[in-house]
């Protein structure tokens, strides 16, 4: 798995940005969009997808369940339905640790 970095603070993200951030194929993100009703990217006239922060949060939860914890899609849907708060807390903790790590790396580089 590639080193995961924080996404820049934006209103919308492209599928390429999310694919790189989560280190998954674009086709997998499109597949998850079909499988999970909670992902609703906006599209322009050409059909290009633009993911909101809520979409990114949902993709992060799905990523945690499927890629990190090894659940099936059915299992991930069940977890999201019944234990969303617990899964969300794990993802938020991971993001906090990633922020701390990035800060420490920047601090080390400046010394």
Domains of the chain: 12-110 (1.10.1660.10)
Q: How far apart are the first and last CA of the chain?
A: 28
Percent of the chain with pLDDT over 90: 50
The CA distance from 10 to 78, in Å, is 30
Whether 95 and 9 have beta carbons less than 8 Å apart is answered as no
* pTM tops 0.85, yes or no: no
Q: What is the pLDDT of residues 58-103, one digit of tens each?
A: 998 899 899 988 999 999 998 888 877 777 777 788 778 888 888 8
């Amino acid at each position: 798995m590639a080193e995961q970095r924080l996404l820049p603070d934006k209103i919308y993200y492209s599928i390429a940005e999310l694919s790189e951030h989560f280190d998954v194929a674009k086709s997998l993100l499109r597949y998850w969009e079909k499988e999970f009703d909670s992902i609703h990217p906006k599209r322009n006239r050409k059909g290009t997808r633009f993911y909101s922060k809520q979409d990114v949060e949902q993709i992060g939860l799905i990523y945690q369940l499927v890629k990190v914890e090894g659940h099936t899609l059915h299992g991930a849907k069940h977890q999201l339905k019944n234990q969303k708060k617990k899964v969300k807390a794990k993802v938020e903790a991971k993001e906090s640790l990633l922020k701390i790590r990035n800060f420490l790396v920047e601090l080390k580089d400046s010394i």
